């Protein structure tokens, strides 16, 4: 009886060591974020979740807007009129999605809204991805960034981050 109990305790100890080791490995792999970055990622999660694309939207946001501890919401030199919001969508793309035909009005109203309202910017990004999903999810992500070799690298980087977010869970 003592040997059976000792064997069970030894087996439980081995299982416990495996669980602790796995959790330590996961913790070292999973990135840490500032409070603002965590909030943005949670917002991306919430907007992507109904479409089962929460990890994709989080990966795009991390790739597009996180620079060190900062969250960047504007790149004025990107495209014809700049990119805005935590998903760094080009203004011309946002104009197309919203039906806005005046670049002046878009600069005055749409760009500031995308910079100030993370939820709105993320909803536009999700809309873009859903509209291009018929081409395949990888192609939709590639097109989100444009075309060519840089867009291929972008899609690969986003895909790697998606896999990491799947392993690490919700921020």
Per-residue confidence band for 79, with pLDDT thresholds at 50, 70 and 90:
confident
Written as six digits, the tokens of 55 are 């990890």
Per-residue pLDDT tens for 1-27?
666 665 565 554 555 444 444 443 444
pLDDT at 43: 97
pLDDT at 125: 97
Written as six digits, the tokens of 40 are 């943005």
Per-residue pLDDT tens for 92-147?
999 999 999 999 999 999 999 999 999 999 999 999 999 999 999 999 999 998 88
**Which of 139-164 are b and which e, b meaning 16 or more Cβ less than 10 Å from the residue's Cβ?**
ebbbbbbeeeeebeebbebbbebbeb
* pLDDT over threshold 80, residue 67: yes
The domains of the chain are located at: 1-30, 33-168
We find that the CATH architecture of domain 33-168 is Orthogonal Bundle (1.10)
Averaged pLDDT for residues 39-53: 97
Mean pLDDT score of the chain: 88
Per-residue confidence band for 60, with pLDDT thresholds at 50, 70 and 90:
very high
Q: How far apart are CA 166 and CA 13, in angstroms?
A: 28
Averaged pLDDT for residues 57-86: 93
Going by C-beta distance under 8 Å and a sequence separation of 6 or more, which residues neighbour residue 50? none
Let me know: does 86 contact 64? Beta carbons within 8 Å: yes
Q: How far apart are CA 155 and CA 56, in angstroms?
A: 10
pLDDT at 80: 83
């Amino acid at each position: 009886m003592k040997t059976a109990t000792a064997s069970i305790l030894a087996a439980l100890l081995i299982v416990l060591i495996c669980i602790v080791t796995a959790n330590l490995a996961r913790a070292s792999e999973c990135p840490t974020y500032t409070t603002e970055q965590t909030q943005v990622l949670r917002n991306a999660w919430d907007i992507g979740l109904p479409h089962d694309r929460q990890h994709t939207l989080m990966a795009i946001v991390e790739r597009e807007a996180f620079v060190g501890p900062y969250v960047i919401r504007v790149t004025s030199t990107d495209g014809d009129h700049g990119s805005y919001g935590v998903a760094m969508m080009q203004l011309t793309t946002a104009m197309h999605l919203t039906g806005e035909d005046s670049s002046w009005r878009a600069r005055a109203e749409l760009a500031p809204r995308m910079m100030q309202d993370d939820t709105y910017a993320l909803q536009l990004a999700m809309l873009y991805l859903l509209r291009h999903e018929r081409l395949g999810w990888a192609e939709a992500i590639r097109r989100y960034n444009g075309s060519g070799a840089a867009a291929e690298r972008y899609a690969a980087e986003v895909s790697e981050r998606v896999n990491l977010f799947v392993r690490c869970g919700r921020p």
